Structure 1
Amino acid sequence: MSKTAYIILADGFEETEAMGAWDALRRGGVEATFVSINDTTSVEGAHGLHFTADHTIDEIRRQPADAIALPGGATGTENLYQSDKVRDLITSQLRDGRLVGAMCAAPSVLGRMGLLRGKRATAYPGWEKYLEGAEVVETEAVVDGQIITARGPRYCFAYGVAILSQLEGRDKAAEVARGLLLHEQVAPLDI
């Protein structure tokens, strides 16, 4: 049976981060699906993308996944944090030994919940102040126990591969990373 991951979407989510993580997980054989925190599967991204998720959060509450992933976006992150259902889902994931990922601004949800104390974590520049009690590191993605955090949109594939490494192992993650050309240096744009 394949591993499963829910990518949790709130209005204002960062579209690239959701899609990049989904893509990397799917390439690695993980059954990744999108979950709306709204009453319907309709969700609007930070940049106006109207998106239809696979499920609502109420539909999956009794069907835990091996991992959940929270994309960032300032408004999306605040909507995630304000949702009792999302906070309950995060708590049950960790209590039951499953993975929780958050990237960009979304690690602040975990920080504000007190879940990063004594952990290494990263976030979008300026959001580190919400990583309460964490050792903040400036790197693309950080795995510390059950919690995976990532820095921002540029690293959406690295984030997905970091989650994949915990679900399917380093070899599968390395294979997917090679296919995504993550090993190549990105030259700065000459603008």
Structure 2
Amino acid sequence: MKTIFVFLTTGFEEIEAMATVDILRRAGLDVKTVSLTGNKTVVASHGVPIVADLLFEETDFSKAEMLVLPGGTPKYNDHEGMKKEVLAFANKGEKVAAICASPMVLGGLGLLNGKSATCYPGFEQYLAGANLQTSEAVVVDGNITTGRGPGLTIDFALKLVELIAGKEKRDAVAAGLLVN
């Protein structure tokens, strides 16, 4: 089984990261959190410390099925190693997902050129070349999935389950969460 890697950096949005990890794991998928800070304990946007499964430096991305960037901070854009991995992964046609502020990373890498995408209000200017769908909770265009923000994380995570494990698994997880 391949692994879904969810990146964590100082100031990440707790809901977007942890609810996504939770929902993907409820679907029986292999998910690992990856710290970009050089320390396994990463402090989120509201001061909650989270212990990541792996450090970026020790992660074998050849085992990746999907790369996920939660939002909450533009600091994701500062990690050159992560951006290099995301770009190479996406350019091979592999699945990349970003929510809230993090689609700005994809925009900066040129991955949204000609693609439909959404983001947190105010970050549209960073989605270079994208066909903006800012009223949508989640937008999938080819191998790129973008989400709007924290209150829509369940929609985002369930869409990721559907993309990897199918609609039946997505619906089963949603039912268990009491989501219509």
TM-score bracket for the superposition, by shorter chain length: over 0.9
Q: Is the 8 A contact 2:90 2:111 kept in 1?
A: no
Question: Residue 16 of structure 2 aligns to a residue in which SS?
Answer: helix
Q: Which residue of 2 aligns with 1:96?
A: 92
Q: TM-score, normalised by structure 2?
A: 0.94
Q: Distance in 2 between matches of 1:117 and 1:42?
A: 35
Partner of 1:38: 37
Aligned counterparts, 1:90-129, within 5 A:
90-129=86-125
Q: Give 1:64 shift.
A: 3.1
* RMSD of equivalent CA atoms: 1.3
Gaps of 5+ in 2: none
Give the 3-state SS of the residue equivalent to 1:66 in structure 2.
Answer: strand
Tell me if structure 2 keeps the 8 A contact 1:43–1:53. yes
Matches within 5 A, 1:79-94: 79-94=75-90
C-alpha deviation, 1:22, in angstroms:
0.6
- Percent of pairs with identical residues: 39
Helix, strand or coil: the match of 1:22? helix
Matched, 1:140 2:114: no
Alignment of 1:1-191 (within 5 A): 1=1, 3-74=2-73, 78-137=74-133, 138-183=135-180
Deviation at 1:150, TM superposition (A): 0.4
Amino acid at match of 2:14: E
Offset of 1:179 from its aligned partner? 2.1
Gapped runs of 5+ residues in structure 1?
184-191
Q: TM-score with structure 1 length normalisation? A: 0.89
Residue deviations 1:97-138 (CA, integer Å, cap 9, x gap): 321110011111101111101111110111112111111111
